[in-house]
Structure 1
Amino acid sequence: MLDRLTHRGPDGEGTQTIGNTWLGHRRLAIVDLEGGGQPLYEPDRRLWLIGDGEVYNHPRLRQQLENEGRVFRTESDHEIVLHVLDNEGVDGFTKLWGMYAFILAGADGRFIVGRDPLGITPLYWVRDDDTVLFASELKAFDPDRRNDVEPFPPGHAWIPGDGLVEFGGLPERRTGQVAQLLTGAEDQEEPPEEVLTAIRDTLYTAVARSMRADVPVGALLSGGLDSSLVCAIGAKVASEQGWTLPTFAVGLEGSDDLEAARRVAEAVGTEHHERVYTEDELIDWVPEVIGVIESFDPQLVHSSVPNLLVSRYAARYVKVVLIGEGADELFAGYEHYGDISSHEELHDELVETMRGLHNLGLQRVDRVASSNAVESRIPFLDFDVVELGLGLPAHWKLTNGDRPEKWLLRKAFEGWLPHDLLWRPKQQFGQGSGAREVLRDHYEATISEKEFQRDRTAVEPPLRTREELAYYRSFQQHLTGLEPEGVVGRFAEA
């Protein structure tokens, strides 16, 4: 299983047996490059921990633990988790701010598994009588086990004997500062300036927090609103620290995304890099991309091919990349949200979409980055941003004749980008980069209508297009033995 995940961690490997538990870890070194190898352990070696992801509030937690007399062997943010879980058990997960999946095992028989509330970091498991297996990707499991694989639920922990325990979820109710901010403003047609300021300040802090690393940091820039705002903030943070943020873009020659990305990079002052690909390259990469992302959903494939190419290109220069994922789900950026006129319905739809992110958009983000030995950071899914975004009145996010999608986010950042780019209509990454039409036309043509009608019911719900059937056949070759229902997420439309 560990050998099948070598791509996720080219910087080292570690294993440890503790009683009836075996831990294995592949390392992508981001924090404490020299001393952060895993499994991590306490000085007396009674507790061991492996993990994936980043804990952004680790400096504060470390200070608290040191004040309590805890001794640390490394500067790793993950070693903090070992001590927090030792102190508080499952309740310790509520103190962690970031994206993560952790497993702790002790010589005294303790065993705890937990995954972050949004499911940003992947985790799967198989329960088979007295044997339980965990891994970061579907392909790690043996083919004869794959039909029993389930996604480990976000915001949950598991302890043998106690079962699943929910410790965190989406912050759907307004609390604390968000509730105070909106007092008296909720029913206003226009958001007051203090709300716009809060959006700017919260995202700015999230971007700055996402840029903490002991390795070079860059940003993927599609030229769309979300990545452009992240890059504009990131460029300012980098400038204040005395360096220049590198940005990376890909697309077909003459594509809208490439042109927009060039203009954004020039406007905000980044060190810009771009790669122009051909239609044949897009087509040829699809089989490998399907194996990487572990999905056959057409929308994911369309965006994943250019995403893989830009991540592979960025990996030559940096080891951490900022991306704009999450803004559409918080600020109602998808086209179908425009059909909703009720603010209650829109809020419910946004919450439901956020709950499904872990095995759709976030699956693409994780797999593509990990296959290229880079780590994605997602400022829009910083918990402060999520709490504010979901707490804002949904009627400020409704699309109408005067307000385009993500009007609230655009309004908050007026002056940060050239006006026409700030208000540029949304295009999906696969569309703006030129990938969608090329891939759809080619792979539709590889499947006859007769084949489609015969084989479309191979999965439930049935395959929706000839293109999706072509992708599903490739998926079967990469993940032999896996029944996708309940494991592989699919968008409502192909």
Structure 2
Amino acid sequence: MCGIVAAVGNIDPEICRKMLARIAHRGPDDTGELGISNIWLGHQRLSIMDVEGGRQPLADQAESAFVVANGEIYNHTELRAQLSDVEFGTGSDTEAALHLLRLHGPAALPRLRGMFALAFALPDGGFLAARDRLGVKPLYWARRPDGVLFASELRAFEPADRPAVRSFPPGMYWTPETGLVRFADAVPASLREPPARPIPWQRVTRQVRETLVASVEQRMMSEAGIGVFLSGGLDSAIIAAIAARWMRANGRKLPTFAVGSAGSSDLVAARLIAEWLGTEHHEIELTEANVLEALPEAVRVIEHYDPSLVRSSVPNLLLARYTVGHVHAVLTGEGADELFAGYSYLHEPPFTEPTALHAELVRSVSELHHLNLQRCDRTTMAFGLEARVPFLDRAVVETALSIAPEDKLVRPGAREKQLLREAFAGWLPEEILWRPKEQFGDGSGAADVLNAAAKELLTRIHEPIASSPDVRLRDESESLYYSLWRKELAGIQVADTLGMFATT
């Protein structure tokens, strides 16, 4: 996991170096840069795979192609086997992507399984930028009169360039010759309509279990330690159960990390799960003092002012700060509620109708990169911690959306995510397996602590709270977050933030 900057055109390299320095937190282990033809590539490295040899920008043996990448290519071992005639110089997963792109160009992109944002260059000036199909990894770009800039975070860009910054769309690549081209959809066209016939329940639960187990195990690759963010809810508990089983089989103990206020139901549940699984468990207690300190930082880090996003980011930020002292990568439960209809609003009209429910699940999965995945990436990468999201593996997404929406509805005698619960019967304590879903702020006790901290912060602000004719600020807390956001990211267009930036 890393931070990248790239430029195409006649852009001053010193601008690019300053951009890279602004995202040094994403990769504290190393810095690399390369200027070739009219292209500049920069990389801040967080060493996870091939710690010794995976330095970027990465070149092939003949220095005929170069790449910088942020993310992980989980099927790199399979790709290496398919490229049996290629001489590999490192054990880095990124090198598989480099050779595949060198040999096949943009046609290589659909073969990459994982989360990535990358920039690829050739000595003759050939260039390609791309982002994974779900947008798990961030990428932004800005057009200037003298060229095009790319970076992992908004804050990387010069203030003068920020009004032109846009989110690079997931599942697309760009070259100077072709412009934007789609290489993959977040949800394949064949799955955008509900399945015609329900699959037998037992077969469905087995498919879900086997696919998710494979996804977690694929994401256990790390030379720098890996753990699980354990919220106390069903989704992270399932991830922890699979990861703990894999760790035991490999003679190791899984580290788990939980956050909440003293005595909160999430902390109690996480402790129970950890004891059941035999993990090396760590807890962070939320207090008004540490939340007050983290609140402005959360707004700056996530580059957003949405109240629900800010409130959920504060505990994650505190947890990530602690966790990076123990491991360099964690698994999280992002995506499960969108795939298996976990949110309470999905069990109210109009989503009690199967077709409407399926359409909403497809929409919410396709737009995860706007909010939840942005929070997940920023709060962890603020401290050089890599977050991996097993529920959003391509095979898991396709399996989940091939399930009839009728099987995800809450009926008498059934709970939300009934299918997921039954798929992992016996893997967790019964009281966890059937624990009702709570909003993160409620279960962790964060909501009360955050509200108190926001009120305290408001009393300390001696400048006017910001307002804007372009956006409706719903309450005083949101106005406070907006003030902090606008101060940090001067120049970003307010209208763009409403959809987390236009995609073209």
Shorter-chain TM range is over 0.9
**1:426-445 correspondence runs (5 A):** 426-443=437-454
Q: Distance in 1 between matches of 2:354 and 2:452?
A: 37
> The residue matched to 1:325 in structure 2 has which SS?
coil
Q: 2:411 aligns with which of 397, 400, 404?
A: 400
Q: 2:483 aligns with which of 460, 473, 476?
A: 473
CA gap of 1:444–1:243, structure 2 versus 1, over 3 A, is: same
Q: 1:350 aligns with which of 356, 361, 381?
A: 361
> The residue matched to 1:117 in structure 2 has which SS?
coil
Alignment check: 8 A CA contact 2:187 2:366 kept? no
> The residue matched to 2:441 in structure 1 has which SS?
helix
Moved more, 300-309 or 277-286: 277-286
Q: Distance in 2 between matches of 1:204 and 1:235?
A: 11
CA gap of 1:42–1:442, structure 2 versus 1, over 3 A, is: closer
**1:382-461 correspondence runs (5 A):** 382-443=393-454, 456-460=467-471
Moved more, 328-337 or 424-433: 424-433
**Matched residue type, 1:465:** D
Moved more, 281-290 or 223-232: 281-290
Q: Corresponding residue for 1:288?
A: 297
> The residue matched to 1:118 in structure 2 has which SS?
coil
**1:141-220 correspondence runs (5 A):** 141-173=157-189, 186-187=197-198, 191-220=200-229
Query: What are structure 1's unaligned runs of at least 5 residues?
Result: none
Q: Corresponding residue for 1:338?
A: 347
What's the CA shift for 1:488? 5.7
Query: What are structure 2's unaligned runs of at least 5 residues?
Result: 1-18
**Matched residue type, 2:493:** E
What's the CA shift for 1:72? 1.5
Q: Deviations over 1:419-450 (max 9, x none)?
A: 121111112222221112332354367669xx
> The residue matched to 2:70 in structure 1 has which SS?
strand
CA gap of 1:447–1:244, structure 2 versus 1, over 3 A, is: closer
TM-align CA RMSD: 2.0
Runs of 4+ more than 6 Å apart? 445-448
Q: Is 2:81 aligned against 1:63?
A: yes
Alignment check: 8 A CA contact 1:456 1:464 kept? no
Q: Distance in 1 between matches of 2:230 and 2:408?
A: 24
**Matched residue type, 2:48:** I
Q: Is 2:104 aligned against 1:95?
A: no
CA gap of 1:200–1:57, structure 2 versus 1, over 3 A, is: same
With the length of structure 1 as denominator, give the TM-score of the two structures: 0.92
Alignment check: 8 A CA contact 1:17 1:23 kept? yes
Q: 2:63 aligns with which of 34, 40, 45?
A: 45
**Matched residue type, 1:471:** Y
Identical pairs, percent? 46
Q: Is 2:235 aligned against 1:226?
A: yes
> The residue matched to 2:492 in structure 1 has which SS?
coil
> The residue matched to 1:416 in structure 2 has which SS?
coil
With the length of structure 2 as denominator, give the TM-score of the two structures: 0.90
**Matched residue type, 2:55:** G
What's the CA shift for 1:280? 2.3
What's the CA shift for 1:130? 4.3
**Matched residue type, 1:79:** E
Q: Distance in 1 between matches of 2:456 and 2:318?
A: 24
Q: Corresponding residue for 1:317?
A: 326
CA gap of 1:444–1:353, structure 2 versus 1, over 3 A, is: farther
What's the CA shift for 1:59? 0.6
Q: Deviations over 1:287-324 (max 9, x none)?
A: 01111111111111111111111111111111110111
Moved more, 80-89 or 226-235: 80-89
Q: How many residues align?
A: 475
**Matched residue type, 1:235:** A
